[in-house]
A and B are shown apart, each in its own frame.
Chain A
């Protein structure tokens, strides 16, 4: 993001706070990918992910007056998305047992890695417990460091590090032990 973009977003935030609907839509467009991706990878369901992402932005609209800056906005969005997703996963435990989706690479985005491995990784992440999944997503999808993740999820840094360590071990074990990985389904759209 250039300085000009950052300024335009600060301006959009200020205008959105004063009730400008178009400015709020600008904010939504700017952050929709991050919020939706986090919701999608947490819930493993496109419909529920969109519903959750919409709810996050509706809440943002109500709380705009409390958002002080673009950085604060991003922090707020990640925190609310993670919390809502974890709450939903805990309320509806069936989310925990998601089948492995057939996760085709996105045509629009080039990938330097192994698409099959990435697809397998996404499926394995979807099987992690809710809090561990949130930690892994905030670390590798949002590129936050453990202390930032601890702030977003309001948990001790050591717990974050422990979640990361155990999740990586689990992923590594499951990737190396083929028998532990169930066969992917072929009828689901990519996540």
Chain B
């Protein structure tokens, strides 16, 4: 019975053909996958380039920002120096004016002595 069952199992489990066009479908899928892999390998540098570009842009922007701030600082310093110079001149003028005003007035010489 066992041998008979095993024989029947072998008969029942014979190989069957896959649906028509199976090999062609596998071939199409492998070729498509190969193309994708090739494209992925070919464009592997794109993300790295994008990342490098973004990093470079950030560095340039940061450098520009630093330079701009330094220039603004220098301009402000110049303005402050100019303002102090003008203030000094005005104070000097005012001081002279005050000094002139506080000088005793000499009466005009009448020639009596």
The residues of A with any CB-CB pair to B shorter than 8 Å are 21, 24-25, 28-29, 32-34, 36-37, 40-41, 46, 50, 53-54, 57-58, 61-62, 106, 109, 111-114, 117-119, 121-122, 125, 136-137, 140-141, 143, 168, 171-172, 175, 191
User: Which residue of B2, B14, B30 contacts A24 across the interface (Cβ within 8 Å)?
Assistant: B30
- In the complex, whether B43 has a CB less than 8 A from a CB of chain A is no
- Inter-chain contact B26/A121, CB cutoff 8 Å: no
- Contact residues of B: prevailing secondary structure: helix
B16 lies within 8 A of A121 (CB)? no
CB of B15 within 8 Å of the partner chain: yes
Q: Please give the distance in Å from B60's CB to the nearest CB on chain A.
A: 43
| Contact A117–B18 (Cβ < 8 Å) | no
Partner pick for A36 among B5, B22, B34, CB 8 A cutoff: B22
Interface residues on B, range: 20 to 34
Of the candidates B12, B14, B31, the one having the most CB atoms from chain A within 10 angstroms of its own CB is B12
CB pair B33 A122 closer than 8 Å: no
Query: How distant is the Cα of A19 from the Cα of B30 in the complex, in angstroms?
Result: 11
Which residues of B sit under 8 angstroms from A118, Cβ to Cβ? 8, 11-12
| Extra contacts besides A37-B14, A114-B8, A141-B13 (6): CB < 8 Å | A25-B23, A33-B16, A34-B15, A58-B29, A117-B12, A172-B2
CB <8 Å contact, B18 and A36: yes
In contact, B1 and A172 (Cβ under 8 angstroms): yes
How far is B19's CA from A114's CA once the two chains are assembled, in angstroms?
A: 25
* Pair B18/A140 contact, Cβ less than 8 Å: no
Q: Is B109 an interface residue (CB 8 A)?
A: no
For B17, B18, B23, the residue with the greatest tally of chain A CB atoms inside 10 Å of its CB is B18
CB pair B5–A57 under 8 Å, yes or no, is no
Chain B residues with Cβ below 8 Å from A141 are: 10, 13-15
Nearest B residue to A109, CB-CB: B14
Q: CB < 8 Å: which of B8, B25, B34 contacts A117?
A: B8
- Residues of chain A within 8 A (CB-CB) of B22 are 28, 32, 36, 50, 53-54
Q: Is B46 an interface residue (CB 8 A)?
A: no
Distance of A68 Cα from B31 Cα, bound (Å): 22
A29 touches B13 (CB 8 A): no
- Whether the pair A111, B11 counts as a contact (CB closer than 8 A) is yes
Q: How far is the CA of A125 from the CA of B29 in the complex (A)?
A: 31
The CA of A164 and the CA of B82, in the complex, are separated in Å by 102
Assess A112 versus B11: contact at CB under 8 Å? Given A53-B22, A168-B5.
yes
A106 to B12 alpha-carbon distance, docked (Å): 11
Bound-complex Cα distance A33 to B2 (A): 27
| A168-B2 CB under 8 A given contacts A25-B27, A61-B30, A112-B11 | yes
23 intermolecular pairs with C-beta atoms under 8 Å apart: A21-B31, A24-B27, A25-B23, A25-B27, A28-B26, A32-B18, A32-B22, A32-B23, A33-B17, A41-B13, A46-B19, A50-B18, A53-B22, A61-B34, A62-B33, A111-B11, A114-B8, A118-B11, A119-B12, A121-B12, A125-B13, A140-B6, A175-B5
